[in-house]
Structure 1
C-alpha cells in the first residue's frame, strides 16, 4: 500500500483559513487533508486496567519496563509476570486535568547507577502547583525508588493543569532535556525570562550546562534550550541524522513535528497553522511563517492531538524501517510517518478501530512497537505488521 502525503506546502494565515471555511469549494480544495491509507497491524493486549498510563521505559538486560500512571503510580512490568504493585518511594503528585505523574527515563548509566528520573506536577507547602523533575535509585527487585531527590522546580507556579509538557530525554552528552508547555500563557512562550513554552536542558544533577544557548544573555533563563513551543508532547533522537525531533500540540489545528536546535524560536503564538478553539484567530498570530522563526518539519491542518513518538530502526520488521510512529489522542490512532533523513514523505494510520487515546509509543528491545492508551482502563499493546 503506497504512502500518501497528508500535508501541503501551502501557507495560510489563520484568518484566511477562517474565511475559507465560509467559502464553499475553496476550503475543501485547498485546506482539506488528502485521504490517508490504513496499514494492517497485529495487536496483542499485554495489560489492562492501568489508570491513565502516561510513559513506558524499557530497562536494560531484560529487566522489564517501568510504566507511569498519571494518577501517581510507577509500576514495573515484566513479560509473563503480573504487573507489580505501585513502586514505593515515588513523590506525591498533583493530579488535575493534564497534571500528574508524567515521564519516566532511566539514566544513561542505569546499569551501574540504577538511577531513574521522573517528571511530575506537585504542590508546594503553600498549595501552589509546579512542574518538577527528580530522580531516585531503583532497588534491585524494581519495587522501591530510594532516596528520591527533586532537582528542578518550574517557577513561577502553574496557572492550571493544561498545556504542561513533561517529556524527558537524555542528550548524547548525558544532559537531560524536559519539555514545558505554555500553560495557556501564550505570549510567555516568546519571553526568555519565562520557562513557559520551552524545552529546557539541565545536567544530571539539575545544574546549568554552560553551553546552553542563553547562559550569557542578561535576564534570560539559562535553562532554556528552545522557545516558542506551545505544548511539546514527545522528544526523540532521529537515529539516522542524530537530530532531536519533537511533536507538539497546536490549538485547533496546527499540530507539528519539529527538529529542535539550540537557541531556536519555534514560533508560538506568532507563527501557527492553528486557530483558537472558538474558531477565531489566535490573537497574537501573524501568519504561519515568520522570518527568524523555525517552520515545522511536518504539520496537520486538522489536529490529531499528537502524543508520544518513536523512530523505528530495528531489523525485526524491515517493512517498518525508516518510520516514525506517533500516537494520536483525539483521533485515537497510531500514525506511521515515512521518514527519509530530514523529510517526511507520507503517512499511514494504524489502530483506527481501537477507539482509545494513544499516549505513549516505544520500540522495545525485541523490535516490536508498544503503545499505552490514556484511559481510565488504560492498556498496553504490542504491535507487529500483518
Structure 2
C-alpha cells in the first residue's frame, strides 16, 4: 500500500519530485503562503472576545449559532455584531480538551430544522463520554428546546483527552460524527466500543441497518470506520460522494483520510508520528496490509481543528478544495485535489495572523468565516 505525500517544513521544490520512489512533493505542497499581492483575499475581524468558538453553523443569512467550549451557545448577527446567549443546555463536563464541541444544522424531510451538537456528558461514576444530541432553536426566546441525547457513546473514561468531535450529514438521512481514543491507544483497534471511531446513525439517532458491522457482528453496530486517534475534521463532500476526515497524529503524523465503511485506519498499529518522550516511532509501521492509508500526512503536525469543502461563488478558484483549520501551525490549510481524489497542491492561508484556527464555515455568498482560540471571528473576502 503506497505511502501518502509527506509535507516538509523547511524544504522547497520547484517541480514534482519522486522521494524514496513512493512519496511525492510539489512546489506548493510544503505549505507556502502565496505573496500578499497574489493572495486574492482580504481578512477582517467580524467579532472579538467571544471565547473559544469550537463550532458554528448558520441560522439565517446573517446569523451564526456558535458553541463555546466552556459550555455556552451564542447567536451572533454578523452584520450588526449583536451577540445573544442561548439557554437550554444540559450539564456539560468541561475538562482538558472536553466541553461543548460541535454544532451542525439539519432540515429533515418534514421541513423541521434541528441543530445537532456533540458535547462531553458527565457520568455518575466520574467518567465522561462524547455525546451526540439535537435540539430546536427558539430564536424569539433565545432558547434551545426539545433537547434529545441521541447517543451517549461507549467511550467513557476519566481522561480529559481526545473526545473528537465533528458532525456532518450525507444526502440520505444519516449523521456522522467522530470520537477520539480518549487517550487510550488500545481503543484504536477495539471494535467493541465506540471510541477511536467514526460513527454513523440515522437522523433520529437509530442505527442504520446497512452499517458495516450489523450483519458481521465483528464490531459495534454504530461504527462506520475505526482506528482513528482523534478526529477533528469531518465533512461529507456531496459532489464527490466522499466522507473526508482529518485527525491529530501524535508528535507528527496528522492525517487526511477518505472514510469508507468498515475499514481500519490503523491507530495505533500504524502511525507516521513519533513518541512524545523520544524519537521512537509509534506503532508497528507506517503502513500495513489490511489498513487504509491516509491520502496525506503532515510531518510536522499542523494540529487540524476542522475541515470544510469550499463550494461557493466568492472564490471560484477554490471550488472543491478542502479548507482545514490548523491550530499548532496557525493557518488555514487549503488542499486542492486531482480528479481521482489525491492531493494535488497545498497552500497555507492567513499565516500572518498567527492565530489558532478552530472552525471554518462558509456563508451563502461563498465568504469564508473562521474562529480562533483567541476569541475572534474573521471573514475572508475576495481582494478587490
Return closer, same or farther for 1:328/1:159 CA change in 2, 3 Å cut-off: same
Corresponding residue for 2:318? 320
Question: What CA deviation, in whole Å up to 9, does each residue of 1:205-240 have, x standing for no partner?
Answer: 221110000012336210100001111111112344
**2:185 alignment partner in structure 1:** 186
Q: Deviations over 1:107-156 (max 9, x none)?
A: 23399313211110021234321211111111143721012111111225
Q: Is the 8 A contact 1:4 1:36 kept in 2?
A: no
Q: Report the counterpart of residue 261 of structure 1 in structure 2.
A: 260
Tell me if the contact between 1:306 and 1:327 (Cα under 8 Å) persists in the aligned partners. Answer: yes
3-state DSSP of counterpart to 2:365: coil
Question: Does structure 1 residue 38 correspond to structure 2 residue 33?
Answer: yes
Counting only pairs closer than 5 Å after superposition, residues 235-384 of structure 1 correspond to structure 2 as 235-282=234-281, 285-341=283-339, 342-375=341-374, 378-384=375-381
Q: 2 CA distance for matches of 1:252 and 1:130? A: 25
Gaps of 5+ in 1: 13-29
Runs of 5+ consecutive residues of structure 2 not aligned to the other structure:
1-11
Q: Provide the secondary structure at the position in 1 that maps to 2:48.
A: strand
Q: Match for residue 136 of structure 1? A: 135
Q: TM-score, normalised by structure 1?
A: 0.87
Q: 1:54 matched to which residue of 2?
A: 54
Q: Tell me the alpha carbon deviations over residues 147-171 of structure 1, each in whole angstroms, 9 at most, x when there is no partner.
A: 2111111225223111111111112
TM-score, normalised to structure 2, is: 0.88
Q: What RMSD in Å do the two structures reach over aligned CA positions?
A: 2.5
Q: 1:204 to 1:36 in 2, by over 3 A?
A: closer
Partner of 1:27: none
- CA 1:383/1:78 → structure 2, altered by over 3 Å: closer, same or farther? same
Greater Cα shift, 251-260 or 91-100 = 91-100
In the TM superposition, structure 1's runs of 4+ consecutive aligned residues that sit over 4 Å from their partners are 2-12
Distance 1:279 1:45 in 2: 40
Change (3 A) 1:97 1:56: same
Tell me whether 80-89 or 144-153 shows the greater mean CA deviation.
80-89
Q: Measure how far apart 1:263 and its partner are.
A: 0.4
**Distance verdict in 2 for CA 1:4–1:71, change over 3 Å:** farther
Greater shift, 363-372 or 107-116, is seen at 107-116
- Equivalent pair of 2:62/2:79 in contact (CA under 8 Å): no
How many residue pairs get matched?
A: 362
